[in-house]
Amino acid sequence: MEKIAFLGLGHMGAGMARQLLGTGHPLTVWNRTPAKAEPFVAEGATLAASPAEAVRDADVVITMLADPAALDAVADAVVPALRPGAYWVEMSTVGPDVVKELAARLGEGVTLVDAPVMGSTDKAAEGRLGILAGGDVAGVERVLAHFGTVTRTGPLGSGAALKLVVNTAVIGGVALVAEAMVLADALGIDEDTARTTLANGPLGGVVGRAFAEDVHFDTSLAVKDADLATKAARLPVMEAVLDHFRRAAADPDVTHADIAKAVAHIRHSR
């Protein structure tokens, strides 16, 4: 069985790494805050003191980090420590340009796969994520299947690109739902009636996401994803959405809150 190193045990990473426990894969974990790794050690994983130590003997390295800056910092330590024949599966949402820059840093014999995920913490904990996998996926598809359903998206970087497309639609949709609720209020429509009617319409899935309370998606992550998207193409609507979420993230009551609270911020700041 492949030796796996999993780096990044945040809200998403913890649920994903837990899917690897008990699979027979020797698992090494690393997290910037070591205390978050303690439950995994108690269930049989090995705790690494550094990213380099985590990946040194790994056949498969998985990174699930917050943003491009976090990935860059980890890559500085990981790249020199990777052994020939290893696979690096980058599952963060960082955009295709960052994936291609990372590929250019890797030595001979190391295969990079970009495989960001669709779904939030609930699906991560249940192993029911959607995996958007770009590049030479065959060697790691069996490992990725522990996290959910794998969709091959094409060449390296295509998974990261498609994830930006998906997140742009979701984040933009959430902001649109927020504004629809502003309009409902301005027109004197009962809030529950408006919300239920929207939920039963074409935007039903986005309405559920906008008001979800059992998943975790920081407002700061919405800002990061919208920023990546608007740098990749001219997207006037998303530029306005990005401004909404930047203002929400600047509110000390919302900065580390779920996106549903950012929706409330947009609605009540009018």
Numbers of helices and strands, H then E, in the chain? 13, 9
224 is catalytic: no
* DSSP states along 2-33: --EEEE--SHHHHHHHHTTTTSS--EEEE-SS
Residue 47, token pair as written in the block: 């705790």
The amino acid present at 116, given as its one-letter code, is P
Question: What is the DSSP code (8-state) at residue 146?
Answer: T
Distance CA 60, CA 131 (A): 16
- Going from the C-alpha of 259 to that of each of 11, 51, 119, 204, 223, the distances in angstroms are 14, 30, 14, 17, 10
The catalytic position among 36, 163, 224, 261 is 163
Cα 108–chain centre separation: 28
- Annotated catalytic residues are 163
